[in-house]
Amino acid sequence: MTLTTLDAPMSPLPYRIRQVTWENRDTFSFALAPAGEGSCERFLPGQFNMLYVYGVGEVPVSISGDPAEGDMIVHTTRYVGNVTKAMSRLRADQMIGVRGPLGNHWPAGEAKGKDLLIVAGGIGLAPLRPLIYEALRRRSDYGKIVLLFGTRSPDDMLFRNELRQWRSRFDMDVQICVDRAHQDWFGHVGVVSSLIPRAGFDPYLTHAFICGPEIMMVNTVEALIKRGVSEEAIFVTMERNMKCGIGLCGHCQLGTAFICKDGPVFRYDEMAPWLTIREM
């Protein structure tokens, strides 16, 4: 019998790294498969896993792969601390512990019949990629699908192959904006929210899903509200100091919510009052 996270929520299950892909100079993706028998835990777009580097520590990492792919589960992270640095040194065939999938998911079902606006900043594209895969699989459920992606520079772009594929589709609008570039860049330069006034979606019939640095999300929400999108139709994913991943330790508490258990996805109007309190 295979134990699942539900049976033992604090025990990581052993997974084997099948593939390591460097997305840019400091961000990498792991494709993982269970070390023993059985298939990967099913997940919903927006959920995350706690990844455990044996002997080093555990961190929450966004699931960035296709939810329909059952034999492998893909995560994307950037090396910023001790655990992710140790993680970046792991190679294919090595083992890693996995707890999850944890947290809630993007409420894509609520957006049926409406336009889908996805706004990603930097590595914030990682937890949105499963949503894009899923939305394209159910393409007829939505009106327009618009992806606005802001990143530091053309060299820092994630998921280049997918971005190229999505841009070449006739049923999806993809716009990329960088903070700085050289003359060989033909895209936009500036903040990603500057794309909102002219992006092709109906503001009164749109659900917006945003992930990125908090300041980018706040700025984006402001531009969306100015365009006419209601706060109730805007969803953001929050990041705080998650430790247990199941709402026990309280490290990630923000206001009345535990980001790991009640989130990480929140309707903007539910989270907005807490975002302006610095002590939170």
Partner 1 sequence: MKQHSEIGAMLAEHEFLRGMSSKHIALMEEFTSVDTFHPGDYVFRAGEEAEYTYLIRSGRISIEIYDPQRGAVLLETIAAEKVLGWSWLVPPYKWCFDARAVEVTRMLCLNAERLRQAGELDHEFGYEFHKRFTGVFAERLRAARLQLMDMYGPLT
Closer residue to partner 1 (CB): 22 or 185 = 185
Smallest distance from the beta carbon of 152 to partner 1, in angstroms? 4
Closer residue to partner 1 (CB): 31 or 157: 157
Closest to partner 1 by CB, 5 vs 29, is 29
User: Which residue lies nearer to partner 1 by CB, 189 or 248?
Assistant: 189
Q: How far is CA 201 from the centre of its chain?
A: 22
Rounded to whole angstroms, the Cα distance separating 81 from 117 reads: 32
For residues 241 and 204, what is the distance between their CA atoms, to the nearest angstrom? Answer: 35
Nearer Cβ to partner 1 (3/80): 80
Question: Which is nearer to partner 1, 85 or 112 (by Cβ)?
Answer: 85
Helix (H) / strand (E) containing 275: helix 268-275
List 210's β-bridge partners, or say none.
119, 236
3-state secondary structure 129-165: HHHHHHHHHCHHHCCCEEEEEEECCHHHCCCHHHHHH
* CA atoms of 264 and 248, how far apart (whole Å): 15
Q: State in angstroms the smallest separation of the CB of 181 from partner 1.
A: 4
Our CB check for partner 1 shows the closer of 40 and 125 to be: 125
Least distance in Å: CB of 83 to partner 1?
15
Alpha carbon distance 84, 243 (integer Å) = 14
DSSP for 80-110, please give it: -SHHHHHHHT--TT-EEEEEEEES----GGG
Tokens of 133: 């895969």
Chain residues in the site for partner 1 (CB under 8 A): 26, 78, 80, 121-123, 150-152, 156, 179-183, 185-191, 194, 197-198, 212-213, 215-216, 219
Q: Report in angstroms how near the CB of residue 106 gets to partner 1 at its nearest.
A: 21
Q: Locate tokens 């099913």: which residue? A: 42
**Minimum Å distance from CB 85 to partner 1?**
11
Question: What are the distances in angstroms from CA 268 to CA 158, 214, 217, 220?
Answer: 25, 12, 10, 11
CB-CB contact of 220 with 119 (8 Å): yes
The CA-to-CA distance between both ends of the chain, in Å, stands at 42
Residue closer to partner 1 by CB (options 78, 261) is 78
- Tell me the closest approach of the beta carbon of residue 60 to partner 1, in angstroms: 15
Shortest separation between residue 238's beta carbon and partner 1, angstroms: 16
Q: Provide, rounded to whole angstroms, the least separation between the CB of residue 228 and partner 1.
A: 15
